[in-house]
């Protein structure tokens, strides 16, 4: 009886089922599941602590309320200057960054913008503003 149980115990591990192991990559760039791409990029971004020194980022939270007020007033002044052109007036506006000259030249609106830092100028001409012509 002991001999039969010993023979059965020895023969049992020899009778097993198995299949071939198949490697499937995780990264979709190497043939993995395309649904993994979002997870992989999120993990990569989470551990990335590199900051590009040449990147210019504008963070709205860093702008002070005084800067927002100045920007709002500058926008309002430009709007008022353009509204005055409709009444036949011309004008000039100087900001920290540029000069803005607006002239109504007999039905043609001429806007000249000069960058203070580089000295580059841009001229915009819009014709057909005078309905009498």
- Asked if residue 54 is part of any domain, the answer here is no
Q: How much is the pTM?
A: 0.41
Q: How far is CA 86 from the centre of its chain?
A: 36
12 pLDDT tier (thresholds 50, 70, 90): low
| Residue 24: predicted pLDDT | 87
pLDDT in tens, 56-103: 666 555 677 777 887 888 788 777 777 776 666 677 878 778 888 887
| Residue 86: predicted pLDDT | 64
Number of folded domains that form the chain: 1
Mean pLDDT computed over 4-23: 74
Average pLDDT score over the chain = 78
- Asked if residue 18 is part of any domain, the answer here is yes
Q: Does the pLDDT of residue 133 top 50, yes or no?
A: no
Q: Which domain holds residue 13?
A: 2-47
Q: Which two tokens stand for residue 76?
A: 């309002």
- Strands lying side by side in the sheet with 121-126: 91-94, 98-105, 108-115, 121-126
């Amino acid at each position: 009886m002991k001999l039969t149980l010993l023979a059965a115990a020895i023969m049992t591990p020899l009778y097993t089922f198995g299949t071939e192991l198949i490697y499937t990559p995780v990264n979709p760039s190497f043939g993995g599941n395309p649904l993994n791409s979002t997870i992989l990029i999120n993990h990569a971004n989470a551990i990335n602590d590199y900051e590009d020194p040449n990147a210019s980022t504008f963070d709205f939270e860093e702008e002070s309320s005084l800067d927002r007020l100045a920007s709002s007033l500058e926008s309002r002044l430009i709007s008022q200057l353009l509204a005055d052109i409709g009444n036949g007036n011309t004008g000039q506006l100087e900001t920290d960054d540029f000069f803005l000259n607006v002239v109504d030249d007999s039905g043609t609106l001429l806007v000249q913008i000069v960058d203070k830092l580089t000295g580059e100028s841009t001229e915009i001409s819009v014709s057909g503003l005078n309905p009498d012509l």
